[in-house]
Amino acid sequence: MADTLNVATWKEAVEFAPGVHWIGALDPTLRTFDIILKTANGTTYNSYLVRGSGGVAIIDTVKEGFEDEFFHRLESVARYDEIRVIVLNHLEPDHSGALPELMRRAPQARLYISTRATTMLKALLRPNREEPFEYTTVTTNDRVSLGDRHLRFLHTPFLHWPDTQCTYLEEQQVLFSGDVFGCHYCDSRLFNDRVGDFRFSFDYYYAHIMRPFKQWVMEALALIEPLKLKVVAPTHGPILRERPRRYVAHYRELSTSSLSRELGDTNKSLIIFYMSSYGNTARMAEAIYQGADTVEGVRVSLYDLEGGEVAPFVDLIEDADALLFGSPTINGDAVKPVWDLLSSLAVVNLKGKIGAAFGSYGWSGEAVRMVEDRMRGLKMRVPREGIRVKLIPTQEELDECTGFGREIANILVGKEVQRGVIEFSDLT
Amino acid sequence: MAKAKITFEDINQTVSVPAGTRIIEISEKIGAGVIYGCREGDCGTCMMEVTEGWNNLTEPSVLEEKVLRENMAGRHYRLACQAQILGDCKVKPA
């Protein structure tokens, strides 16, 4: 069947390992997923059925509106009263959409979710059912028996919600990986050795869904890499049965910082971005650069936003340790190129990076405080109040900028100047 | 008004504050490394470790304890957006 498989017309389950079936649905017309992702040829909602000697397990369901296809495939290989186990690796509505109806048809089944999923389950399914489902929470190495088959759980939070987990079918060496190793790519031939070229979709999906959580990817890989893997079965896109380990290795490669290899372990990266209308904020940026550059162990970079594009700057920011933004104030606001960059950072992890702001202004000077608030909102640490200069900076003010750059760089390398005990009332 | 000292160990900075002050009110102003998400005790982003003076903070509510449990918090971890200072203590980001 594999050579001629077309699940657009073949509406039954597809067995890809003994007793292991794909029972998902195709969504070929979808063009935007979850606001942030384009889907040039749609997506799939992959759901799986595992038959053991002691009963049947369903792993993940499909998006609301695709239940008919899902239930039809399920019914082609199992009866509802055989279902003992339902696993949700991820509660996002594209995987939990058919859960209420599945629980209604198989009331004897037990639902297994991760420990982080409980509040989401209640919040997501509130409109569909007055009484909450009975469920069991599981974490890494918890197991569920289906008689001669066993499912083992791997706690892999934030890939891509806090609740996410993977489920490993031990005897068949199949990893039901949830959104991990998935992509929005719809092809009725279903398997990675049969579908078209989906490399772009795989990397694009990683860049938007997994990239902000690279540290969690690394922790998940530590659990996944030791497993024997015959098949990786994600919730979106092709089932990876042909050399699945390549995709695991690719995730490690994508999650490893390239700049840290370039800088070595000892250097920290501090980047100054600025925009300037009359050269005043630019002069401040240059003075800050000179100050920061005197600190041992800090590699300083200076970029005029006018001369660059957002995407490569986002790459730089991802690998930086400290970020300084210089903006003039125009009509009471920071300027658009600064906001364009600051509003494009949802795909990278900024948690704990050091931030600071500076800028020249004409009469009100709100930009610096606005940018600082934005950086705090992005979970950066803003250790020092930024510098605001009215119009053309004096030499004294430029010296202050040099000292500011040096101070931020020193904070970056852990040489923060101590300020004694501060009175709360003295903090602005 | 009773006062207490809180030390943010990651930046080695001590602040003298009125008793009853929430840690969130101090840590951002001082530029400490505790970071915030929802700011209302739901997301767990501002989890921190209390290294000294655990008993000098207000008791965690049932809801805070639930969030800490779900986030697999270690012993003496608290949410900075919820904990109020009653006496001297030391904290650092979790």
Tokens of B29: 């102003």
Find the CB nearest A421 among B16, B31, B36. Answer: B16
Specify the DSSP class assigned to residue B60: P
CB contact under 8 A, B5 and A421: yes
CA dihedral A99, A101, A107, A108 (to 10 degrees): -50
**A287 and A366 assigned to the same domain:** yes
Residue A425, min C-alpha distance to chain B (Å): 8
CATH number at residue A333: 3.40.50.360
Whether A210 and A340 share a structural domain: no
- Mean of the pLDDT values across residues A137-160? 96
The answer to the question of residue A47 being in a domain is yes
Is the distance from CB of A25 to CB of A61 less than 8 angstroms? no
Residue A142 pLDDT level (bands cut at 50, 70, 90): very high
Chain B interface disruption, residue of A156, A422, A425, most B CBs within 10 A: A422
- Full residue range of the structural domain in which residue A392 is found: 260-412
A263 pLDDT more than 70: no
Is there a domain that residue A20 lies in? Answer: yes
Burial A135-148 (b: 16+ CB within 10 A, else e): bebbeeebebebee
A251 and A264 fall within a common domain = no
Question: Nearest Cβ partner of A427 from B11, B29, B93?
Answer: B29
Max Cα separation, chain B?
36
Distance CA A251, CA A258 (A): 14
Distance (Å) of CA A307 to CA A155, A216, A257, A259: 44, 34, 25, 21
- Please give, rounded to a whole number of angstroms, the shortest distance from the CA of A76 to a CA of chain B: 38
Cα distance from A42 to chain B (closest Cα, Å)?
A: 32
With a threshold of 0.85, tell me whether the complex ipTM lies above it.
yes
Give the mean pLDDT of A20-39.
Answer: 93
Question: Percent of chain B scored above 70 by pLDDT?
Answer: 100
Q: How many angstroms separate the most distant Cα atoms in chain A?
A: 82
A250 is a domain residue: yes
Q: Any idea what the CATH number is for the domain that residue A78 is in?
A: 3.60.15.10
My answer on whether A239 and A283 are in the same domain is no
At A330-345, the pLDDT tens digits run 999 999 999 999 999 9
Contact A418 B31 (CB under 8 A): no
Q: Are residues A233 and A316 in the same domain?
A: no
One domain, residues A220 and A329: no
In the three-class reduction of DSSP (H, G, I as helix; E, B as strand; rest coil), residue B50 is classed as strand
Alpha-carbon distance B75 to nearest alpha carbon in chain A (angstroms):
18
Structural domain boundaries enclosing B31: 3-93
Does the beta-carbon distance from A379 to B12 stay under 8 Å? no
Q: Are A31 and A161 part of one and the same domain? A: yes
In a domain, A210, yes or no: yes
Q: Which residues of A touch B39 (CB under 8 A)?
A: none
Q: What CATH code is carried by the domain that includes residue B49?
A: 3.10.20.30
Contact check, Cβ <8 Å, B31/A383: yes
**pLDDT tens-digit readout, A55-100:** 999 999 999 999 999 999 999 999 999 999 999 999 999 999 999 9
Tell me the pLDDT band of A326, cut-offs 50, 70 and 90.
very high
Instruction: Give yes or no: residues A239 and A214 share one domain.
Output: yes
Beta-carbon separation of A376 and B28 below 8 A: yes
Task: Compute the nearest-CA separation of A120 from chain B (Å).
Answer: 12
Residue A210 and residue A282 in one domain: no
CB contact under 8 A, B35 and A119: no
Residue A157 has pLDDT above 80, yes or no: yes
> Is there a single domain that holds both residue A195 and residue A244?
yes
Looking at chain B, which residue has its C-alpha nearest residue A414?
A: B11
Q: How many domains are there within chain B?
A: 1
Q: Quick one: which of A323, A335, A401, A336 has its CA closest to A367? A: A335
Residue in chain B lying closest to A416 (CA): B11
Whether A368 maps to a domain, the answer reads yes
Of A115, A376, A418, the CB nearest to B70: A115
- Cβ–Cβ of B17/A381 closer than 8 Å? no
Check residue A129 and give its pLDDT: 55
Q: Across the interface, do A422 and B36 touch by the CB < 8 Å criterion?
A: no
Closest partner residue to A424 (CB to CB) among B13, B18, B93 is B18
Same domain, A280 and A232: no
A162 and A30 inside one domain: yes
> pLDDT value at position A416?
78
Is residue A274 in a domain? yes
Contact state of B15 with A115 under an 8 Å Cβ cutoff: no
pLDDT of residue A2: 47
CA distance A201 to A194: 15
Q: Is residue A69 part of a domain?
A: yes
* Residues of chain A neighbouring B65 (CB-CB closer than 8 A): none
Which residues in chain B are contacts of A321 at CB distance < 8 A?
Answer: none
A10 lies in a domain?
A: yes
Give the model confidence (pLDDT) of B66-89 as tens digits: 999 888 898 899 999 999 999 999
Q: d(Cα A100, Cα A367) in Å, to the nearest integer?
A: 49
Tally the domains of chain A: 2
